[in-house]
Amino acid sequence: MESAPAATKAPKLYRVGTLTYTKSGLLQVMFWMLWGDFFFQLMESVTPALIPLQLRWEGASDTLIGFVSSPAAIVAVCLYPFIGMQSDRHRGRLGRRRPFLLWCTPPVVLSLVLLGAAKPAGAMLHEVLGWVGGSSFTAAGCTIGWIAVCYVIWVFFNAYITQVYVYLFVDVIPKEVMGKFFGLYRAVGAIGSLAFNRWALGAAEAHTLHVYTLIGLLYASAFYMIVWKVKEGEYPPPPPKKAGGGLGAAKRYFQECFTHPFYLNFYCLSFFFWASLVPLSFIVFFATQAGQPGYAPTLGLTLQEFGEIKSWTFLIQIPVFFIIGPLLDRFHPIRVSLVGLFLISASYFSCYWLVHGSTSLLVCWTINQGVLAIHLVAWVALTPRLLPRTQFGQFFSANQTFGYMSMIITPPICGWLLGMVRDYRYLFIFCGVCTSLTLVALVVLYFQWKKLGGDLHFTPPDTIFKTPHENAP
C-alpha cells in the first residue's frame, strides 16, 4: 500500500483588525511603510535645520528666530486633539487614515517649495510694497515675514501628516511584530536624517530652493505610494456624536482622556522625557568656544570637532535600533523601557562628572545616545500596546499634547537655570533629573499595568462615557 502524502503545513497568517496577511504580504506592507519613513525623516529634517539658518542669513536675532520657531509646539497643543478625534471618526473609501495623507501632502510640499523660494519671494514682495507705499519695510524683513507665514502653513498641514502616519502603523501592523517593526522604523528614520545632514545640508545655502523642492517631491512620491499600496481594513462605525456641538466634543475628549490615573501617568512619561531633551540643544555651547561671557569655562572645541563627535553619537543609535526591536516582542516594551531609562539617567549624571575634554565627551555622549536609543524604540512600541486601539488617535494626541506642553514650558526654565548656575555642565544634571522622574512615572505605570492584567490579560481602561440608553442590553 502506498503511504499517504504528508500534510503540508499551513502558512502562518498575521491579523490586525479585519486585515489578514501572509508573511509575504506583511513584508510588503512593512516595506512601503519603512520606505515612506525614510523620506518622511528627510522632509522632517529640512525645516528644523534650514529655517534658523535662513533667518540668520537675513540678519534675524536669536529672539526673533525663537519667536518664528515657536508656532510648532503651540499649533501642536491646539491641533493634535482635534486631529486624533477627526481621524478616529472618519470613514471613507480609503479608510480613516490614508485620506488625510492624500489631502495634506500637496500643501506640505507647496509650503516647502515656497520656503525654498523665500529669498527671491522676499525681494519681490519688497518691490510690490514699495509700489504701494510700504517703503518702511526692508527686503530682509519681507523675507523673514515670508518665511514665518510659509512655516506656519507647513506646521499646520504637517501636523496632520505626523499624527496620522503614526496612527496608520497601529491599524495595519500586527501586534506580534510591532516591536521588530518599530526597531526598523527608528533605524530607517535615523538613516534618513543622516542622509540629509551628510549630503543635503552642505548645499542648502547655495541651492536652497533645489534642496527644499527635491526633498518635498521625494517625500510626496513616497507617501502617495503608501496611499496606493497600503490598504486599511474595515472599521466599526464611530460612536454617535453627542449633543452640545464643539463644546460637547471637547468635554467628552477631556472626560475620556484625562480622568483615569493610568492614562494621566502615561502622559507624564512624555512630559518628563520630552523635557529631558530640551537641554541637549545647549551641548554645543558646553563643548565649543561659544559659551557666554562670565560662565564657567567650556571644553573649547571647534565647531568642526564638535560636529565630528556628534556624528558618532548619531551613528551609534542605528545598530541599537536594529538590535532592540526583537527584544521588545520577547520581553514587552515596558520592561525594555525600564532598563533604558535607568541607563539613560545614570549616563547623564556620569557625563556631569566624567566629561572634561573631547575624548571623554565622545565616549560618554556616545554611550548616552546609545542607551537613549533603547528607550526611544521601546517607547514608540509601547504606545500601541497600552492605548485603546479603536480610539488610538484620540489618546495618542492627548499624550502628544502633554509632550508639547513640556516643550513650551521647559526651554525658558532651562535657560533661567543655566543663567543662575552659569555653567553649561549642569545641563547634564537637568537631563538626568528629568529622565529620573520619567523612570519613577514608568515604575508606577508598570504596577498599574500589572494590576490591569499584565502580559496576558491587559486591556486599556475603558473611560468612554455611556448614557443609560447605551448601557441598556
Three-state SS sequence of 295-341: CCCCCCECHHHHHHHHHHHHHCHHHHHHHHHHHHHHHCHHHHHHHHH
Predicted local distance difference test score (pLDDT) of residue 296 = 75
Q: Where are the domains of the chain?
A: 16-232, 248-473
| pLDDT at residue 8 is higher than 70 | no
Three-state DSSP class for residue 15: strand
Predicted local distance difference test score (pLDDT) of residue 25 = 93
pLDDT band at 468; cut points 50, 70, 90: very low
| pLDDT at residue 92 is higher than 80 | yes
Predicted local distance difference test score (pLDDT) of residue 473 = 37
**Cα 74 to Cα 380: distance, rounded to the nearest angstrom:** 22
Fold topology of 16-232: Growth Hormone; Chain: A; (1.20.1250)
What whole-number percentage of the chain has pLDDT above 90?
36
**Cα 418 to Cα 339: distance, rounded to the nearest angstrom:** 29
| pLDDT at residue 49 is higher than 70 | yes
| Sign, CA torsion 55/61/66/67 | negative
| pLDDT at residue 219 is higher than 60 | yes
Whole-structure pTM value: 0.73
Q: Which of 47, 155, 41 is nearest to 104 (CA)?
A: 155
Of 87-91, 305-309, 464-468, the least confident: 464-468
Predicted local distance difference test score (pLDDT) of residue 273 = 93
Instruction: State mean pLDDT over 229-250.
Output: 80
Environment class of residue 314 by beta-carbon count within 10 Å: exposed (0-12), middle (13-18) or buried (19+)? middle
| pLDDT at residue 259 is higher than 90 | no
For the chain, the helix, strand and coil percentages under 3-state DSSP, each to the nearest 5:
75, 0, 20
Predicted local distance difference test score (pLDDT) of residue 324 = 85
Predicted local distance difference test score (pLDDT) of residue 304 = 61
Predicted local distance difference test score (pLDDT) of residue 449 = 93
Contact 368, 51 (CB under 8 A): no
| pLDDT at residue 298 is higher than 60 | yes
Pure H helices in 244-296: 245-257, 261-277, 283-287
Instruction: State mean pLDDT over 100-124.
Output: 95
Task: Check residues 455 and 338 and name the one with the higher pLDDT.
Answer: 338
| pLDDT at residue 47 is higher than 90 | no
Predicted local distance difference test score (pLDDT) of residue 214 = 95
Environment class of residue 55 by beta-carbon count within 10 Å: exposed (0-12), middle (13-18) or buried (19+)? buried
Predicted local distance difference test score (pLDDT) of residue 434 = 94
Contact 425, 352 (CB under 8 A): yes
Instruction: State mean pLDDT over 135-156.
Output: 88
pLDDT band at 183; cut points 50, 70, 90: confident
> What is the 8-class DSSP label of residue 278?
G
**Cα 168 to Cα 182: distance, rounded to the nearest angstrom:** 13
Instruction: State mean pLDDT over 226-255.
Output: 82
Homologous superfamily in CATH for domain 248-473: MFS general substrate transporter like domains (1.20.1250.20)
The most confident of the ranges 171-185, 347-361, 405-419 is 347-361
**Cα 88 to Cα 181: distance, rounded to the nearest angstrom:** 22
Task: Check residues 65 and 316 and name the one with the higher pLDDT.
Answer: 316
Predicted local distance difference test score (pLDDT) of residue 303 = 57
Residue 16: phi and psi, rounded to 5, are -145, 115
Predicted local distance difference test score (pLDDT) of residue 470 = 41
| pLDDT at residue 409 is higher than 70 | yes
Of 211-215, 243-247, 364-368, the least confident: 243-247
**Cα 392 to Cα 348: distance, rounded to the nearest angstrom:** 33
Instruction: State mean pLDDT over 76-87.
Output: 80
Predicted local distance difference test score (pLDDT) of residue 58 = 85
Q: Do the first three CATH levels of 16-232 and 248-473 match, i.e. the same topology? A: yes
Task: Check residues 199 and 115 and name the one with the higher pLDDT.
Answer: 115
Task: Check residues 283 and 435 and name the one with the higher pLDDT.
Answer: 435
Contact residues for 451 (Cβ-Cβ < 8 A; gap 6+): none
